Amino acid sequence: MTENTANYGFLAEWGLSILVEVDGARILVDTGPSFSAVHNAQLMGIDLSAIDRIVLSHGHADHTGGLREVLRRRDEIEVIGHPGIWSPKYVRREGEAEQYNGIPFSRELLESLGARFNLVRGPVYISEHVMTTGEIPMLSEHEEIESNLLVREDGALQPDKLADDLSLVINSDFGLVVILGCAHRGIVNTLRRAQELTGKELVHAAIGGTHLFQASDERVEKTVVDLRSMGIQRLGVSHCTGFRASAQLAREFGDAFFVNNAGTRLTLP
């Protein structure tokens, strides 16, 4: 519903929000940075008062800043995430002082608007075939978390290990479908976690942010090799993938690749 780029007539913002309809449930993965998700939902004829759950992929503002506006449009709702979403997160950009980059609202405010937080470190099963990944092990040798992402602990800024980074997994008959937020802990690590949870090897689709916009060509090339080994049939990138990495992925995956921007609708398989 929201992304850095947009189809004609839709709003684009740096961030991400994806609505998933599966097993009779409407699951909103992330809420974008402010009001664009709500605006675009209206244009797409999506009734936000009818969503069943919200999943927060992690606690950065560009994925949580639209939460207040979404909550204002419905009654009480379960919000699934990791306890680390409430950590005080910061980002350090070159030549600038550290900036706060965490959830821009208090928990008390969001709960007063109907949010009922379900925050656990492990996977959450929404239905028999739909679950969150929970914490994602860092197993891939070529994936790492950017050093400019920080968290305040014991009064000092430390590198953020992004333990709260998670994704939504759909275990379908035709393979796994994984909805990514930013994949800060690596798209390959995330997909391998989905395989581990489900016992299924074939990954039919990965859709969302891949956090490759600062990745080297070598890392992207190794990512391509790993994705091919998983049998990817659809690769819909968004947000933090970056134009250069997107171009590499488009060249490698051809018709299987698409840019999942604001206003995109997709039915699988």
> Could you say which DSSP state residue 89 is in?
E
**Please, where are the H alpha helices in 119-257?**
187-198, 217-229, 243-253
Residue 103: count of CB within 10 angstroms of its CB = 24
Residue 94 pLDDT: 86
Q: Write out 133-166 in H/E/C secondary structure.
A: CCCCCCCCCCCCCCCCEEEEECCEEEECCCCCCC
Using DSSP bridges, classify how beta strands 18-22 and 25-29 pair: parallel, antiparallel or unpaired. antiparallel
Structural tokens at position 163: 């333990």
CB 160 within 8 A of CB 172: no
- CATH level 3 topology of 18-259: Metallo-beta-lactamase; Chain A (3.60.15)
pLDDT digits 0-9 by tens, 98-133:
999 999 999 999 999 999 999 999 999 999 999 999
User: Three-state SS for 127?
Assistant: strand
State the DSSP H helix or E strand holding residue 41, giving kind and residue range, or none if neither: helix 36-43
CB 261 within 8 A of CB 7: yes
Q: What is the pLDDT along the chain (269 residues), one digit of tens a residue?
A: 999 999 999 999 999 999 999 999 999 999 999 999 999 999 999 999 999 999 999 999 999 999 999 999 988 999 999 999 999 999 999 888 999 999 999 999 999 999 999 999 999 999 999 999 999 999 999 999 999 999 999 999 999 999 999 999 999 999 999 999 999 999 999 999 999 999 999 999 999 999 999 999 999 999 999 999 999 999 999 999 999 999 999 999 999 999 999 999 999 99
> Could you say which DSSP state residue 85 is in?
G
Closest to 184 in 3D by CA, of 215, 216, 224, 226:
215
Domain ranges of the chain: 18-259
pTM: 0.97
